[in-house]
Amino acid sequence: MRKTLALLFALSFGLMTYAQENGYFFGDFETNSQWLQNDDKLDFEAPDARFRSNNYFNLNYSYGKFTAGVQYEAYLPEALLDYEPSLSGQDGVAKYYLRYQDEILDVTAGYFYEQFGSGLILRNYEDRQLGINNALRGIKVKFTPTYYLTLKGIYGNQRYGFELSDGFVQGLDLEVDLNQLLDLGDWFVEVGGSYVARYQKNEKADTLPNYTNAFGARLDIAKGNFYGGIEYTQLDKKPLVNDGKIENSRLFDGNALQANIGFAKSGLAIDGTFRRMDNFSFYSDYREEGNQYNQMLINYVPALTKQQDYLLANIYVYNSQPRLFFNHKNAFEARTGEIGTQWDVYYTAKKGTALGGKYGTKFSGNFSYWAGLDADFNFDNNTYKTKFFGTGERYYQDFNIEIKKRWTKEWHFAVTYMNQVIDESITSGGIPGGDDIKAQVGVIENTYTFGGGRSVRLELQHLWTKQDRKNWAGGMIEYNHNSNLSFYIADSWNYEGDGKLHYYNVGAGYTKGRARLTVGYGRQRGGLLCVGGVCRYVSSNTGANMSLSLSF
């Protein structure tokens, strides 16, 4: 690893002089490491490989209309805890590409990322915090012959660690701006259509199709202060898989509908989203259905709930439920998809009013409700039917409100209240079907600035519940010495739980130019870790961590 890294750095810096006259280099380097230790109170025994590190070096070169790049990754001596196991102990070139781009044609060969529409039918992206990199290796072509028409085509295998999926992914996407085409004035109207297929040669070709196709259509409209959109995707019949094994001989199709409507003007915004999914998990290898590490996912269906920043507000988080579970031996494992809605309201009280005061006041509210579909399962012939707009068992419900207020030039204040109901099985990353957990969370946050870049932020939090691990208290104090250096101390105390444990953390961060270093030590609470509505399960552990990132 050291020799390879040294060679890559020498190559990049050795070519800088040449690049200044003929093109330019850009990229980034990131390392995330942890040292794990035993913790009897947490019942955590550190693995033999206590030191673990995920490392990424991304180097790109641009010259005229051409861009090329390579990404080297190393997971040595082991990958961080709870990351995709196949990465552990591995290193090498994980991604490379060559791209040509002009005003009409954009072609990429090698590894690439792409998204059709909202991602409901296809999205390839990288998220290092979640351990997701589902890039495709193959070819991507984007053709824009006019200012109102865009056509995309993709073909390739999806990345799986340092390997590739057995299945091939191919797709086409067409997008037309009708405002530009038909001169609709102050209307914005855009329509799109998508086709994505997985080709996977199956040994049991008589019972399993080699192709699984998905077709989607979408419409987006905006006029004045109003906007809206709707997208529908139909998924071909595919096998029902659980833990890598086919549950029965029948094939089941799937579909998803997502609609959005909103209103926005100065001081007020309202946004609502509805989504219904039935058997809508889509992988480049059907055997990976339900992969807990989010590997080889073709489509993007994040949880549509408010994403919280506070410690205790992230204990009971919702993970979207697109899959079909149909075990004829156990009726309790018969459920499919989800249906629900999320609404956001934002209001800013003007300065000088009774609510706004001297500096104005910001109010925001959010409500979300998600449930399984109303479905009738026939266990005699392994079939089921759903009511399109019918709701079944509730999975999650959340109402929260936030108020942000500046009292003086130096003092900022925020208060948050959450009221949650969640299926207990979801919080542990399992199959829905457990008892409800009812929780309330209150947060008070104060920030005081001293000038010269110095500030201190104090959070006080409490979670009330009679279920699960009972009540929690939490807090954090963060001191920013300047724009470069900061320190923090945080604790989440499960004071009514069985162990009455403190999940403490201390750390510091330093930023210099395009480089940032963070170090920390403490306990990690087990459960779902979510970023942007996509989640992975993390186990409880104790240890030190360090992260260094550099872009150039």
Query: What is the reported pTM?
Result: 0.91
Burial 296-325 (b: 16+ CB within 10 A, else e): bbbbbbbbbbbebebbbbbbbbbbbbbbbb
What are the average pLDDT values for consecutive 10-residue runs of the chain, which has 552 residues? 46 48 91 97 94 98 97 97 95 97 97 97 97 97 97 98 96 96 94 97 75 97 97 95 80 96 97 98 92 93 95 96 79 84 97 92 98 91 90 96 95 97 88 91 97 94 96 98 96 92 97 97 94 93 98 96
pLDDT score recorded for residue 16: 45
Cα 317 vs. chain centroid, distance in angstroms?
13
Q: What are phi and psi of 398, to 5 degrees?
A: -150, 130
What is the Cα–Cα distance from 178 to 221, expressed in whole angstroms? 10
Domain ranges of the chain: 1-85, 302-545
Report the relative pairing of strands 436-451 and 132-133 from DSSP bridges. unpaired
Residue 431 contacts residue 333 (beta carbons within 8 Å): yes
Closest CA to 484 of 450, 507, 456, 517: 517
Distance between start and end Cα atoms, the chain: 22
pLDDT score recorded for residue 328: 56
Other CB atoms within 10 A of residue 251 CB: 15
pLDDT score recorded for residue 6: 44
